[in-house]
Amino acid sequence: MKVDLKINDKILLSIKKIGINGEGIGYYKRLAIFVPNTLRDEEVEVTITKVLDNYAIGSVTKYKVKSKDRVDPVCSHFGQCGGCQLLHLKYSVQLKEKREILIESLEKYLEKDVDNIIVESTIGMENPFYYRNKTALPIRHDGDKVVAGMYAIKTNKLVYIEKCILETKVVSDTLSKVLDNLTRINVDIYNPRFKQGNIRYVIVRGFIDVEVTFVLMYEDKKLIDKLKNMYNKIDNLVSVNYSINNDLDSHLLISNDVINIAGKSIQGKLRDLEFTLYPDSFFQLNIHMYEKMLEKIIELVEFKKSDVVYDLYTGVGTIALSLAKLVGKIIGVDDNLSNIKNANSIAKQNNITNCEFKFGDSYKILSEVNNLTINTVIVDPPRSGLDIRLLKLLVNLRVKKIIYISCNPSTLAKNLAHLQTQYRIEKIVPFDMFPNTSNVEAVCVLTRK
């Protein structure tokens, strides 16, 4: 049914739920209307900004009835930078809404009754701020000052941010000092408007000690020497690096080798696992919640000393290495060579000998294994989920359990629809890895029927 709705039309709307991107959703003559900065049970006057065949987008012009769960955002950039989509919602309710988003995805894509699937309450944080151990931001000149920021929602306009309430203090403080140093030494910053300059991004990551990596347009020895001199001028900064990326259409920040110009790799600890982290290796942004997730996996799965486990999309092997002492053997697989090298170095660092890490395609490596020797497969795919080849392979494997770690409720539900033909969904546990954002993570345990 086509709805007569045009751009700039004003309508009254009742918000019925929160969408997967954190916006409120209401219905006008059965057409879904997506409205940022609205919450469930709010009554709002909306101006339509975009109309498509099966939905429309609007902006609030007036709040008629506000939610009792609405709170004042504690950041002045809320609604501009797009980093915290749910900062206006009471945290305890954020956790409930994220569980609802997960359940709605299951109801949309699973054919069988989802009422029998146990979806636990979302596990959250006591303090839902200052948890990110990494930030990666574009930088610009603002007059004589070098600044960093995030792009405004759906634009190329940069919102300058001095302090982010999601970053850990050590990361935030280091970023501020790095920008001050860049201002003082008068370096060449890339300007996308004129397509001139060199430094495009700054990446800061750390726990107690911190590393900084600069993304450059091209090699410049004088600039690199200036960046190197930053090493002894900032407390806790133990590593300075750079990488070249002149592909302006790429969504990747790091697309070439990372070159160390001063210091050494950063150190960290995950439960009883000590690790050294390479600058271009993947690592979870919220280490506190990641530890909680690992503890929950161990609680949900009764691992045995005789088990052989495959950990697909292993990253730097933190899950595999954390489970190693509970099983007979665990094989981690990843298609990022730096991750695999880093995983092997961490295994050696912790004297773990029953972990093997393989570089390559998960489907190809798993398809060459005698499936009768595997007890459990762990998958932790990107937001796009598992590809159809791997899904079909997992359906045909006779493994006892699959542990699916998801960062996208929609692709999780779609993938479970395939796996459900041969596996029973025992339990799903949502985790709030990214408080105050719309991101929903979950651990799903499946057993062979």
Does residue 291 sit within a domain? yes
The answer to whether residues 224 and 261 touch, using CB atoms and an 8 Å cutoff, is yes
Nearest in space to 389 (alpha carbons), one of 360, 418, 369: 418
Q: Is the C-alpha dihedral spanning 174, 176, 179, 185 positive or negative?
A: negative
The answer to whether residues 272 and 244 touch, using CB atoms and an 8 Å cutoff, is no
Does residue 399 sit within a domain? yes
Question: 325 and 365: one domain?
Answer: yes
Q: Which of 81, 84, 164, 407 is catalytic?
A: 407
Does residue 5 sit within a domain? no
Domain boundary among 214, 241, 264: 264
Question: 366 and 221: one domain?
Answer: no
Check residue 369 and give its pLDDT: 87
DSSP 167: B
Question: 288 and 375: one domain?
Answer: yes
Helix (H) or strand (E) holding 347: helix 337-349
Does residue 90 sit within a domain? no
Q: Is residue 111 classed as helix, strand or coil in its secondary structure?
A: coil
N- to C-terminal Cα distance for the chain? 42
Domain boundary among 225, 249, 264: 264
Dump strand ranges (E) for 278-422: 308-312, 329-334, 355-359, 376-379, 401-406
DSSP-assigned letters across all residues of 46-94 = EEEEEE-SSEEEEEEEEEEE--TTB---S-TTTTTS-S-TTTTB-HHHH
Other CB atoms closer than 10 Å to residue 246's CB: what's the count?
14
Question: 209 and 230: one domain?
Answer: yes
Does residue 392 sit within a domain? yes
Domain boundary among 21, 47, 65: 65
Question: 331 and 430: one domain?
Answer: yes
Does residue 257 sit within a domain? yes
The answer to whether residues 28 and 11 touch, using CB atoms and an 8 Å cutoff, is yes
Question: 285 and 194: one domain?
Answer: no
407 is an active site residue: yes
Question: 192 and 251: one domain?
Answer: yes
Alpha-carbon separation of residue 216 from 157, 267, 275 (angstroms): 20, 25, 28
Residues 6+ apart with CB under 8 A from 155: none
User: Tokens for 425?
Assistant: 């969904």
Nearest in space to 165 (alpha carbons), one of 235, 86, 253, 269: 86
Q: Is residue 279 classed as helix, strand or coil in its secondary structure?
A: coil
Range of the domain at 347: 96-126+271-448
Question: 375 and 309: one domain?
Answer: yes
Question: 437 and 295: one domain?
Answer: yes
Alpha carbon of residue 400 to chain centroid: 29
Question: 146 and 246: one domain?
Answer: yes
Does residue 72 sit within a domain? no
Question: 319 and 434: one domain?
Answer: yes
Give the count of domains, the chain: 3
Question: 348 and 417: one domain?
Answer: yes
Does residue 81 sit within a domain? no
Tell me the CATH number at 190: 2.40.50.1070
Tell me the CATH number at 312: 3.40.50.150
Per-residue pLDDT of the chain (449 residues; tens, 9 = 90+): 577 899 999 999 999 999 999 999 999 999 999 999 999 999 999 999 999 989 999 999 999 999 999 999 999 999 888 889 999 999 999 999 999 999 999 999 987 778 789 999 999 999 999 999 999 999 999 888 999 998 887 777 888 988 899 999 999 999 999 999 999 998 999 999 899 999 999 999 999 999 999 999 999 999 999 999 999 899 899 999 999 999 998 888 999 999 999 999 999 999 999 999 999 999 999 999 999 999 999 999 999 999 999 999 999 999 999 999 999 999 999 999 999 999 999 999 999 999 999 999 999 999 998 766 799 999 999 999 999 999 999 999 889 999 999 999 999 999 999 999 999 999 999 999 999 999 999 999 999 99
Phi, psi for 229 (deg, rounded to 5): -65, -10
